[in-house]
Amino acid sequence: MVKPKIAVIGLGGTIASLADHPLEILDYGANGSLDCDAVVALFPELNELADIIAVPFRAVPSFNIFYPEWKALLERMDAIETETPDLAGYVLLHGTGSMEETAFFLSQTVHTKFPVIMTGAQRPPSARSSDAGLNLANAIRAAANPASHGMGVMILMNDELHAARDATKVSTLRLDAFQSPDSGPLGFVDGDAVTFYRRPVRRCAPEHRFDITNLETLPRVDILYGYTGSDGTAARAFIGAGAIGIVSAGFPPGYTGDADAHVLAEAVREKKLIVVQASRGGAGRTFDSRRAKGQGFIPADNLNPQKARLLLALALTRTRDVAEIAEIFRCH
């Protein structure tokens, strides 16, 4: 039987790290990072699941991954498809800290029609209780499964498949660190089957992708975190640094404190700053309140602040029109 061909691309992270002791599950970052082919070689049974193409990319701590890595990754994926006409899907190995941001960015920009499954580990492969091997095996199974087509970029962790738009890391150390707070997982990868129970409905790539082919950098968008006693200093600093967009991670259900709101609303009027109102609450949508309308702020819907920042940056590559950007947030 011909096995599906899956490209496994390594971007570093816990899944590519080794500790000095099997019971060390926290302090292992100083030991360097394994290449993708070395990670795959740790689990030879993976070759029973697929014909694996191990693609070393860049071993980058997840907190240092941003636009240069994302653009290079998209270009590498395009090259893989040219080189591999019988490709069935992708698995991307990534640190969990910013996995949701990479997943969401890719979900808005990829060219590929094949499944893209991101996975990582909460505990390194050297740990006695590591989740690395099973996460990688399940990600390969999901990428090779025909039911994954048309589901967009997904995150596979702890046997669960989550939509890139919905998933967020909610725990620093637990194995069930990723959840989709408002909607739950799309499906599950169990020992006998890959099973889906719903489909994403918001616009995403490749049908509705943002074209970044000729884009050298993303427009500057910052996140203003709301807290009691904030006096507008951070808002003024972001504007002074050249931000053309700001996401306000406000108080649930989506309010910016008065001092910060005054600074932002003034910049909306005088500098054409684009402000998106998100919530720091972790779940639920922000809405188009009279207060937000009066300030000229756009609701983020239920995107968390870090994803709203990326969608706003991508939207600003197309337009500065407030109504058009608001429509993007309603549809994506």
156 and 138 in contact (C-beta within 8 Å)?
yes
170-212 tens-digit pLDDT: 999 999 999 999 999 999 999 999 999 999 999 999 999 999 9
The tally of domains found in the chain comes to 2
Domain match, 32 and 109 both: yes
Among all chains, which residue has been given the structure tokens 């390969």? 140
Query: Which pLDDT score, from 0 to 100, does residue 152 have?
Result: 95
Using alpha carbons, select from 301, 270, 308 the residue that is nearest to residue 285.
301
Distance (Å, whole) CA 160 – CA 175 = 11
Domain match, 190 and 258 both: no
305-316 vs 322-331: helix axis angle to the nearest 10? 130
Domain match, 30 and 176 both: yes
The pLDDT confidence band at residue 85, using thresholds 50, 70 and 90, is: confident
* CATH number where 317 lies: 3.40.50.40
Query: Which pLDDT score, from 0 to 100, does residue 27 have?
Result: 87
User: What value does the mean pLDDT of the chain take?
Assistant: 95
Any idea which of 4-13, 26-35, 214-223, 275-284 has the lowest mean pLDDT?
Answer: 26-35
Has residue 210 been placed in a domain? Answer: no
CA 265 to each of CA 201, 260, 325: distance values in angstroms, whole numbers, following the listed order: 32, 9, 17
Any idea which of 17-31, 129-143, 148-162 has the lowest mean pLDDT?
Answer: 17-31
Task: Identify the three-state secondary structure at position 301.
Answer: coil
How much of the chain, in percent, has pLDDT values that exceed 90?
Answer: 90
Using alpha carbons, select from 206, 37, 189 the residue that is nearest to residue 110.
206
CA 62 to each of CA 127, 233, 282: distance values in angstroms, whole numbers, following the listed order: 20, 28, 21
Catalytic residue among 14, 109, 112, 286: 14
Beta strands (DSSP E) in 214-265 are 221-225, 245-250
- φ, ψ for residue 163, nearest 5 deg: -70, 140
Has residue 213 been placed in a domain? Answer: no
Domain match, 152 and 286 both: no
**Beta partners for 274?**
245
**Beta partners for 52?**
6
Domain that holds residue 317: 221-331
Distance (Å, whole) CA 65 – CA 104 = 13
**Across residues 250-258, what is the average pLDDT?**
95
Domain match, 176 and 51 both: yes
Distance (Å, whole) CA 275 – CA 305 = 12
Query: Which pLDDT score, from 0 to 100, does residue 101 have?
Result: 98
Query: Which pLDDT score, from 0 to 100, does residue 31 have?
Result: 73
Task: Identify the three-state secondary structure at position 271.
Answer: helix
Q: What is the DSSP string of 25-67?
A: -SS-GGG----HHHHHHT-GGGGGT-EEEEEE-----GGG--H
Asked if 14 is an active-site residue, the reply is yes
* CATH number where 17 lies: 3.40.50.1170
Query: Which pLDDT score, from 0 to 100, does residue 1 have?
Result: 72
The pLDDT confidence band at residue 33, using thresholds 50, 70 and 90, is: confident
Has residue 302 been placed in a domain? Answer: yes
Has residue 203 been placed in a domain? Answer: no
